[in-house]
Structure 1
């Protein structure tokens, strides 16, 4: 089945519908997105491959999907690091939650060095909604720190974005919380979710709308 994709403009509008028509709070949506990401990471990186997961969080909602609430994480004993490159030497898997579908323009400090490290690492990398530095509409950049960055896994939240046309790794969709009426409004054909799964793995055959 070809997957229809959401533009950045429609993705933002869909989020607003989820909070109005769908009656979700922003916290609920971020919790559901974070749960989707965690399930996808567990699919591609079971505990037998190592328990040390490093999450790179940006300043916006995409970072929130990776970070969640800092106080809760500290209470659970999850450490925060300042030196990302050093932390990568002790990690088994990296989650790229720096930029999401609202990203545009140039990558600004302090993120170029982080994205360069993501590109050069031999560790498996899972990107949330978009590989950081990629254009939502036009895919990977032709220059800059993200040129040549291709994560091993992508988790598209709510629905795939047009950039999936350039993505060649394992692709998951985490949008079980999108109601049938909202999916119909945006002409989405979302895959069936099994059991209590919040993600489903799909092939990268996309149609831009």
Structure 2
């Protein structure tokens, strides 16, 4: 049983910890990317004032990066000002479509990520880590991701990680990865979430079909009203 401790509570969400990283395999990629991106953009909005609307979404080339692109698009709809850093663009047609949608919404793309962290702090009020996900191998990180993670470890503005903080193993976590202020777990928390020590841990899993919940023995929380995410 995976127990997610947050704020003195013991919320049992998943009975079989070894299956949670693979839930998305049973859902269409477009479905997962769209609904996760829609759910993920909900959290920053209450905490990011419209008078401080700038944020940076750092995207990898796999599914987490695609979800980051969808998240940026939804944030733009809500009149925030996302900028995307997407250093290694995927050849996946679906991900190319997400990129085109962002470009057509006039969301700017950075050509490089400043290594001077003060430049990032001056330009953005929030950074979204959508780089590496559960599918990432934790062998020796290749560039540009090694340099990107080294920079994100030093930033002074709040950092939100999508599903699994980049540089973490989905099961064991990491003692040398980034340390996000907020973790938004997708579908259900992964085992590594027990090692998360940031300020807020949320789960976005309301979109999961009931047969998937049953298959993976998920004990999902009750989402109030029309909320897409819930705090643990």
Q: TM-score range by the shorter chain?
A: 0.7 to 0.9
Q: Can you list the C-alpha shifts for 1:70-116, whole angstroms capped at 9, x where unaligned?
A: 11111111000022126624111000000111122222110111111
3-state SS in 1 of match to 2:31: helix
Match of 1:66 among 68, 76, 90: 68
* Aligned alpha-carbon RMSD (Å): 1.8
1:150 maps onto 2:183 in alignment: no
SS at match of 1:184: helix
* Number of equivalenced pairs: 189
Tell me, in whole angstroms, the C-alpha distance in 2 between the residues paired with 1:161 and 1:10. 6
Structure 1 stretches of at least 4 aligned residues deviating more than 2 Å after TM superposition:
1-11, 43-48
Cα deviation per residue 1:108-159 (whole Å; 9 max; x = unaligned)?
11011111111101110000001100111111244xxx3xx21000010000
Q: Distance in 1 between matches of 2:154 and 2:18?
A: 28
State yes or no: 1:198 paired with 2:228. yes
Alignment partner, residue 32 of structure 1? 35
In structure 1, the residue matched to 2:154 is: 120
Equivalent residues of 1:172, 1:200 under 8 A apart: yes
SS of residue paired to 2:109: coil
Q: 2:197 is matched with which residue?
A: 168
Q: Distance in 1 between matches of 2:12 and 2:58?
A: 28
**Partners in 1 of 2:38 and 2:218 — Cα distance?**
22
Deviation at 1:7, TM superposition (A): 4.5
Q: Is 1:182 equivalent to 2:182 in the alignment?
A: no
1:206 counterpart residue number: none
SS in 2 for 1:42: helix
Normalised to the residue count of structure 2, the TM-score between the two structures is 0.75
Gaps of at least 5 residues in structure 2 are 1-9, 71-97
TM-score normalized by the length of structure 1: 0.83
Matches within 5 A, 1:74-153: 74-85=103-114, 88=120, 89-105=122-138, 106-142=140-176, 146=177, 149-153=178-182
Query: Relative contact order (alpha carbons < 8 A, sep ≥ 6): 1 or 2 greater?
Result: 1
Distance in 2 separating the partners of 1:124 and 1:39: 16
> Quick one: which of 47, 53, 56 aligns to 1:54?
56
Give unmatched runs, 5+ long, in structure 1: 20-24, 203-209
